[in-house]
Structure 1
Amino acid sequence: MDKFEKIDQEIKGYTQDKQPGSERDMNPRPIAEDDDYKAGGKLTGKIALITGGDSGIGRAVAILYAKEGADVAIGYYDETADAEDTVKRLEELGAKAKAYAFDLKDVEQCRKLVSDVVTDFGGLNIVVNNGGVQFPQEDFLAITPEQIQTTFSTNIFGMMYVSQAAIPHLSAGDTIINTSSVTAYRGSESLIDYSATKGAITAFTRSLAQNLAPKKIRVNSVAPGPIYTPLIPATFPAEKVEKHGQETAMERRGQPSENAPAYVFLASQDSTYITGQAIHINGGDYLSS
Structure 2
Amino acid sequence: MIKKELRIMTITPDQIPAQSQDRTPALESEMTPRPEYDDPHYKGSDKLRDKVALITGGDSGIGRSVAVYFAKEGANVAICYLDEHEDAKETQKAVEEYECECLLIPGDIRSEKFCQEAVQQTLNKFGKLDILVNNAAVQYLEPSLEEIDSAQLGDTFATNIFSMFYLTKVAVPHLKPGSSIINTTSINAYKGNSKLLSYSTTKGAILAFTRSVAEPLLEKGIRVNGVAPGPIWTPFIPDAFEGEAVSNFGKQVPMQRPGQPKEIAPSFVFLASEDASYMAGQVLHPNGGVVIGA
1:50 — aligned with what? 55
1:116 Cα deviation after fit = 0.8
Compute the RMSD of aligned alpha carbons: 1.3
Alignment partner of 1:144 is 2:149 = yes
Counterpart residue identity of residue 97, structure 1: C
Q: What CA distance in whole angstroms lies between the structure 1 residues aligned with 2:240 and 2:23?
A: 8
8 Å contact 1:20–1:132 — kept in the other structure?
no
Query: Residue 83 of structure 1 is aligned with which of 88, 101, 107?
Result: 88
Where in structure 2 are the equivalents of 1:94-243 lying within 5 Å? 94-243=99-248
8 Å contact 1:7–1:28 — kept in the other structure?
no
For structure 2, which runs of at least 5 residues remain unmatched after alignment? 1-5
For structure 1, which runs of at least 5 residues remain unmatched after alignment? none
Counterpart residue identity of residue 129, structure 1: N
Query: Residue 11 of structure 1 is aligned with which of 13, 16, 19?
Result: 16
1:10 Cα deviation after fit = 2.2
2:3 — aligned with what? none
Q: What CA distance in whole angstroms lies between the structure 2 residues aligned with 1:203 and 1:139?
A: 25
Question: Is the partner of 1:157 in helix, strand or coil?
Answer: helix
Q: What is the aligned-residue identity percentage? A: 47
TM-score by length of 1: 0.97
Q: What CA distance in whole angstroms lies between the structure 2 residues aligned with 1:183 and 1:231?
A: 14
Aligned residues: 287
Alignment partner of 1:260 is 2:265 = yes
Q: What CA distance in whole angstroms lies between the structure 1 residues aligned with 2:12 and 2:120?
A: 39
Q: What CA distance in whole angstroms lies between the structure 2 residues aligned with 1:5 and 1:59?
A: 18
Counterpart residue identity of residue 42, structure 2: Y
1:247 — aligned with what? 252
1:5 Cα deviation after fit = 3.1
1:28 — aligned with what? 33
> Per-residue displacement from partner, 1:10-42 (whole Å, max 9, x unpaired)?
211101112221111112100100112121110
1:6 Cα deviation after fit = 4.2
TM-score by length of 2: 0.95
8 Å contact 2:11–2:257 — kept in the other structure?
no
